[in-house]
Chain A
């Protein structure tokens, strides 16, 4: 998930263009991170030293790892460790962007450092995020929007991110926004939670996103917004909320779910305060409505 966050970060900082980012994300499956990128990321050598080795490599028939060991920049053990880390995905994104010629290795490293500074991340937090810790990522995401209901939001959004990745799409990015006035929904799938707290949860989406989510969750192509599409999106929200209730129950908080309500061309119901979270998948986006009433 960090890959998508970092990709959007590069985009927002104008370090890459949208087509470049899409191309790089598309390449993730087939890209292998080169040892130079991995060595610099692990702190074993500087970007300049890695570039030197790359240049040397062009003049002799030797692998990167062999040259690095010859020059005393890597030990055998470090090389083994790097070879096993070759699939770490934010680095795969970096490699794809470097291969495209969009960024240099130095620029990629600098952007990572900048991301860490701008999000006030400790070394520990940043490591956790890079290693795919969704709880830490969501908590740093929510730091941008301090509310007293943050604890609920944190639990809810962490679990949503995990369920989205598990059932819908591995390429996930979420952005927190306030709910604008006169917000209108093409499709609104709503479910209320009651008990020790009252929450309103829902997905607001256009038809394309509605069908995309429906097809992914049902594991079959759903081409029209029919009964099956409604059932699929509704059931995904119901499943996620059910699992949220189980998590809260394990923490001693008992909650209840009402049946989902699905409507077309709808406005949001009156809610006191809440969040609108834009959820980006690889090809569509939609809004998650979440409020503690």
Chain B
């Protein structure tokens, strides 16, 4: 089931991309693409039309907030989960206003990723 879900990880840190990919692979997800900044995330999302995008906020070239706005405009079905260390009131309000699906505060834990993926794919036990 999880194999069918396409995910894009967008983070400028190779460490975070690696750790998040490992957590998602442990949950059985296989279709994972990586983007290094907001601009790449928009391009990769257009190409692969993912169900879920994990989006960092502080990034060079294009911030996660700008990329969120563009992805939501073009792919309203895609659930964009903000995954950032900067969960400030300003960022949270802005992300909600622009239609972010959820916000995961870094440091990322396997448990938090599991929970948010279950919610995003409606596969929780609720």
| Total number of A residues with any Cβ neighbor in B under 8 Å | 26
Judged by a CB distance under 8 angstroms, whether B99 is at the interface is: no
Judged by a CB distance under 8 angstroms, whether B13 is at the interface is: yes
- Chain B, interface size category, equals 10 to 19
Query: Judging by beta carbons under 8 Å apart, are A227 and B14 in contact?
Result: yes
Q: A254-B89, A259-B58 are in contact. Are A228 and B106 (CB under 8 A)?
A: no
Chain B, interface SS category: loop
Query: Judging by beta carbons under 8 Å apart, are B15 and A235 in contact?
Result: yes
Query: Judging by beta carbons under 8 Å apart, are A246 and B105 in contact?
Result: yes
Judged by a CB distance under 8 angstroms, whether A239 is at the interface is: yes
Judged by a CB distance under 8 angstroms, whether B84 is at the interface is: yes
Judged by a CB distance under 8 angstroms, whether B90 is at the interface is: yes
Judged by a CB distance under 8 angstroms, whether B44 is at the interface is: no
For residue B11, give the distance in angstroms from its CB to the closest CB of chain A.
Answer: 9
Q: In the complex, which residues of chain A have a beta carbon less than 8 angstroms from the beta carbon of B85?
A: 238-243, 245-246
Query: Judging by beta carbons under 8 Å apart, are B58 and A235 in contact?
Result: no
Query: Judging by beta carbons under 8 Å apart, are A242 and B58 in contact?
Result: yes
Cα distance A242–B89 in the bound complex, in angstroms: 12
Q: A245-B86, A245-B88 are in contact. Are A258 and B16 (CB under 8 A)?
A: no
Which residue in chain B gives the minimum CB-CB distance to A219?
B19
Cα distance A238–B108 in the bound complex, in angstroms: 13
Q: In the complex, which residues of chain A have a beta carbon less than 8 angstroms from the beta carbon of B16?
A: 231, 235
Judged by a CB distance under 8 angstroms, whether B120 is at the interface is: no
For residue A24, give the distance in angstroms from its CB to the closest CB of chain B.
Answer: 32
Which residue in chain A gives the minimum CB-CB distance to B58?
A257
A-B pairs, 4 with minimum CB distance: A242-B85, A249-B88, A231-B15, A242-B86
A-B contact pairs, 11 of them (CB 8 A): A228-B18, A231-B14, A238-B85, A242-B106, A245-B85, A245-B86, A246-B86, A249-B88, A249-B89, A249-B90, A254-B89
